[in-house]
Amino acid sequence: MSRFVIDARVAPGGHRIAVRDAVVVDDDGEGEVVPAARALPGFVDLHCHGALGFDFGSCSVDEARAAADFHLERGATAVVASVATAPLAEMRAAIVRLRALVAEGVLAGIHLEGPYLSERRRGAHAPSLLRVPERAEIRDLLDAGEGAVRVVTIAPELPGAIDAIPDIVAAGAVAAAGHTDATAEEMRAAVEAGVRLVTHAFNGMRPLHHRDPGPLAVALADERVVLELILDGHHVADEIVELVRRLAPGRLALVSDAMSATGCADGRYEVAGSEVEVAGGIARAVTDGSLAGSTTPLGDAVDRFVSLFAPSIDEVAAVSSRTASRLLRLPDPLTPGASADIVLDLDGGERRVVKNGEFAK
């Protein structure tokens, strides 16, 4: 179907979207009409480690494609493949493998979650693999991506981190603070250096305290900073989600942080060099019980957000797509000239997904 018109309640604004040759165009009334109850921009997942038993950090190109397709069928038309802490050579090799899928448009980019993380706030990341940031080393990883690395998570308090942040930004990537024990002062310095994202806020970091505000107070108060939240019912309490909604409107980005067990049965898996037990869909490190990613696709997290808060359609579009798109400097979704990446919720609960003007589901 090269040309069609979606007739639905659309975010942002309006009731019709016209699609021609894979892009959104001005509606001139021509084309087959596709009715739906609601149309949202395709979901943008800033933080996703894989699915179907495949980890983006270690799987083949074909396996990575299958994992991306799994998330696409559930609404994520743009997936940033997260590569977790591993030996440096393995991380570099993963970047080289995945960059072809970024060039092809299967993936929206690569996220390096490690190895420059706090040992104290490491979660499931193996302590033996963590490293102190070195600018030449980070530049080499960025160069290996040839522009495909779009997000780099770093703990701002580590020696050399503040100096490395401008290099990350200069390479066209988003500098993110995460797995960090930073004080408020250290986080403030990181934001001034270029940090614009908090990786899975409230998880893997110094907690918010009234006498020790840490990184979260700075991020919540600074309008330049976007905060990721994992809305799977386990990583953060619903009241925390409500707090971020109210304190940082327009700066909340829901993410899956989906690990390789997403779409699979419970059992033993490996994450970031650590053995992980998945039981009842909850992934925890075998050694200390730390949460080790989620098994909830972003589409399910969006549905949970809607169920919990009855938000406006524009807010749903923001937390699932528009905020992340802005951060990644992608075209404003569902506007003329943008890629036709659309999530359609039909009457009766069925969901259909359009990517580049083609129905993926």
From 45, 55, 232, 257, active-site residue: 257
Give the H/E segment covering residue 172: none
Whose tokens are 């001139």? That residue is 28
Q: Which residues pair with 109 in a beta bridge?
A: 80
| C-alpha distance from residue 63 to each of 50, 51, 99, 293, 332 (Å) | 9, 9, 14, 19, 30
Q: Given the DSSP bridges, would you call strands 149-154 and 109-113 parallel, antiparallel or unpaired?
A: parallel
Instruction: Say which residues have a Cβ less than 8 Å from residue 25's Cβ, sequence separation at least 6.
Output: 18, 19, 336, 337
Cα atoms found within 13 Å of the Cα of residue 28, Cβ hemisphere only: 5
Strand partners, 308: none
For residue 240, give the H/E element and its range: helix 238-247
Tokens of 115: 């190895």
Instruction: Give the strands of the sheet with 195-198, arranged side by side.
Output: 43-48, 76-84, 109-113, 149-154, 174-177, 195-198, 226-230, 252-255
Q: Where is 50: in which H helix or E strand?
A: strand 50-51
Nearest to 254 by CA among 219, 309, 301, 203: 301
- Tabulate helix, strand, coil % of the chain (nearest 5): 30, 30, 40
C-alpha–C-alpha distance, residues 192 and 224, integer Å: 10
Number of residues written out for the chain:
361
26 is catalytic: no
Q: Mind telling me the catalytic residues?
A: 257
